Amino acid sequence: MEKVEIIGGTVVKMWTTDIDDKAREQIENLAALPFIHHHIAIMPDCHGGVGMPIGGVLACCDAVIPNAVGVDIGCGMCAVKTGWKVEKITADVLRKQIMRGIRKRIPLGMDYHKERQDESYMPQGHDIDRLHVVKAQYISAQRQVGTLGGGNHFIELQRDEEGFLWIMIHSGSRNLGKQVGDHYNKLAASLNERWHSVVKPELRLPFLPLKTQEFNDYWVEMQYCVDFALCNRRLMMKRIQEVIADALPGIEFEPMINIAHNYAAWENHFGENVIVHRKGATLAREGVVGIIPGSQGTSSYIVEGLGNPDSFNSCSHGAGRLMSRTAAVNTLSLEDEVKKLEDQGIVHAIRSKRDLEEAAGAYKNIDQVIALEADLVRVKTKLRPVAVIKG
């Protein structure tokens, strides 16, 4: 539930009781920005990021901050419910036909497609000539669309409370989003230095002011990356469904749920039109259906937004990291983490010590995170993992 602090004269509304030192410092930095609108909102999955903490929501009056969006622009979740009961899928079909088939169809980690994908799978309705970075990266992006990526990105097969099979994907805009994010962050830093901005470089929060060409250029490229990230998830989902349909003839799929968690958007809050940055936070406007995933081996949730104005109509994007990747590798037990998964009968992706970066022990307790945001979302469905593919 909401807790309020005053930091440097700025109101900060928090839905968490657990903030690491890095995130705390970054919240203090955000609170010092001269163009904040009303207050800052911090979600229960908050942890340190680059410039702005993951799980943060920031509304600005007349500026956009590339690092308050992040480099994986448009990263998000999608999920599809099927009409097939998990109990009807044999272990042999699951492992040899479905999981193996998905791995054959979808490049993982740093891998891309060998061939450019069809133009129809790319975002439509954009003026590519206006998109300087995207245009230079377009051919490469055609090989990236329909690929998972690394880190905490995943494909997961899940079981709902009635036993039906679900498909869930977490992925973003791949290298395209990183190229756009890096370019405009460096551009903003250069301009802020030229303007002798009061936002110090060490904060890593350079901004682009409204009504400048640089703002307009970033905005259209960011929007393209949000659309590209959706195209990426949509194509992966299409191909996963094809694999599953081959293995389970007659299976039916419901429409896809999609929600992004790294972007900026014009919205009206507290009587003003402002630029809302959601970095590791998702839209929870009243009635909006969203997805809050757990970590590998834990529950995920399909939720419905309650439209809480104090969170800028937002909620968490997941469980949130409890420890850094390095700390996870150095601290967690490979044997214990594998046992947790195998005791639940989950087909998992923990194979080596390095894989502990994405083990459940490296993340906050998802059930506690959901409980902390009971005034932000209503749980519609709880999902338990059946099989996991990590990037």
| Residues labelled catalytic | 317
- Nearest to 230, CA basis, from 73, 359, 74, 62: 74
281-283 and 272-279 beta bridge pairing: unpaired
Q: Which amino acid is at 243?
A: V
Residues 150 and 374: their CA atoms lie apart, in Å, by 31
Q: What residues are paired with 389 via a beta bridge? A: 155
Are the C-beta atoms of residues 74 and 166 closer than 8 Å to each other? no
DSSP 8-state assignment for residue 98: I
Q: Enumerate residues 6+ apart whose C-beta is below 8 A from 304.
A: 287, 288, 289, 290, 377, 378, 380
Compute the distance between CA of residue 289 and CA of residue 304 in angstroms, rounded to an integer: 4
Q: Are strands 54-60 and 36-47 parallel, antiparallel or unpaired?
A: antiparallel
Instruction: Tell how strand 10-14 and strand 300-305 pair up.
Output: unpaired
Q: Is 320 left (phi over 0), alpha (psi -120 to 50) or beta?
A: left
Residue type, 388: V
Closest CA to 322 of 22, 40, 109, 1: 22
Residues 6+ apart with CB under 8 A from 22: 47, 48, 53
| Cβ contact 287:305 at 8 Å | yes
User: For residue 319, what are the CA distances in angstroms to 142, 186, 231, 233?
Assistant: 31, 30, 25, 20
Q: What is the amino acid identity at position 131?
A: L
| 3 and 14 Cβ atoms separated by less than 8 Å | yes
